[in-house]
């Protein structure tokens, strides 16, 4: 059972105890991979944690990019959060309907904007439901709230920076995809992508960091998993995955282990896998 930390992970017990806090903001950041026949927004409307707002990863994104759900420009993030009544002085808790899947992406999104009072709900909605905790179908009452952001450019990497890191080895690159996709043995879910991984990257499947109930493993277990994959938990790291969602779970785990020098490759394999001029390794 991971210890409660309002800057990384909090338990269902912690959240229920703080539900009435005036400065708490809860976000449902459920996102399903292409090909999964579920509607995140409709599920939110039917049932969510009391007071939760819906954070649409595909909409609060950079519409100018052809890549899926790239981080939104500052102005768009600010306008969406203000309208949702999320702003300065708030403690934000993010959850998703998978347990721990897309919520970590939104945790990173807030940190990218310089907002660090944000935590992921450990075990997410499935654990909350399994424990019989309160749910509602009412939309929350939204009041515009001022939000000040300061983009933290060091928390995100673009393809040029990742290519340099791959070549020089001055950052370690950790890929959160499944071992089969990493080795190039399983097809990519998005059409037109090559199979394999970024040269010199290490593989830590995000699912290996989680318990069966979708909660994150304790620090001792996390450390052992990273070490077994050849990852130095103290070294500066770039995390990557299919489209920048599960890479944030690896980042969250490294934060739990005290490594704050972690950046996320936002384009991830959706970008790297489509350009022939970028090298790919298999096996």
Known catalytic membership, residue 241: yes
Instruction: For 93-120, give the DSSP string.
Output: EEE-TTSSSSHHHHHHHHHHTT---EEE
Nearest CA to 193 out of 101, 102, 278, 266 is that of 278
Question: What is the DSSP-derived secondary structure letter of residue 53?
Answer: E
Residue 237 to residue 179: CA distance in whole angstroms:
19
CB 101 within 8 A of CB 85: no
Nearest CA to 53 out of 147, 117, 145, 141 is that of 141
Helix/strand/coil (H/E/C) assignment for every residue in 164-179? HHHHHCCCEEEECCCH
Q: Which residues does residue 238 pair with via DSSP β-bridges, in sequence order?
A: 173, 263
Q: Which residues of 104-137 are buried (b: 16+ CB within 10 A; e: fewer)?
A: bbbbbbbbbbebeebbbbbbbbbbbeeeebeeee
Catalytic residue among 112, 155, 241, 264: 241
Residue 62 to residue 50: CA distance in whole angstroms:
29
Q: Which residues are catalytic?
A: 241
């Amino acid at each position: 059972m991971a210890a409660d930390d309002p800057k990384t992970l909090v338990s269902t017990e912690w959240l229920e105890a703080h539900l009435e806090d005036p400065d708490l903001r809860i976000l449902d950041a459920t996102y399903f991979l292409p090909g999964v026949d579920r509607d995140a927004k409709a599920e939110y409307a039917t049932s969510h944690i009391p007071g939760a707002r819906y954070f649409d990863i595909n909409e609060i994104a950079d519409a100018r990019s052809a890549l899926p759900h790239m981080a939104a420009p500052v102005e768009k993030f600010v306008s969406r959060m203000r309208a949702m009544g999320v702003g300065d002085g708030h403690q934000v808790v993010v959850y998703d309907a998978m347990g721990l899947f897309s919520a970590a992406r939104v945790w990173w999104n807030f940190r990218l904007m310089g907002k660090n009072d944000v935590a992921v709900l450990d075990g997410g909605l499935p654990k909350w439901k399994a424990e019989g905790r309160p749910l509602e179908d009412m939309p929350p009452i939204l009041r515009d709230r001022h939000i000040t952001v300061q983009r933290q450019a060091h928390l995100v990497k673009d393809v040029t920076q990742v290519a340099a890191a791959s070549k020089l080895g001055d950052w370690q690159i950790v890929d959160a995809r499944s071992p089969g996709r990493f080795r190039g043995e399983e097809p990519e879910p998005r059409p037109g992508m090559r199979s394999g991984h970024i040269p010199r990257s290490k593989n830590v499947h995000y699912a290996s960091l989680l318990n069966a109930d979708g909660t994150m493993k304790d620090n001792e277990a996390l450390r052992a998993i990273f070490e077994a994959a050849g990852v130095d938990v103290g070294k500066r790291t770039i995390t990557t995955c299919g489209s920048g969602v599960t890479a944030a779970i690896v980042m969250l785990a490294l934060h739990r282990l005290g490594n704050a020098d972690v950046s996320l490759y936002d384009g991830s394999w959706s970008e790297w896998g489509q350009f022939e001029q970028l090298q790919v390794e298999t096996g």
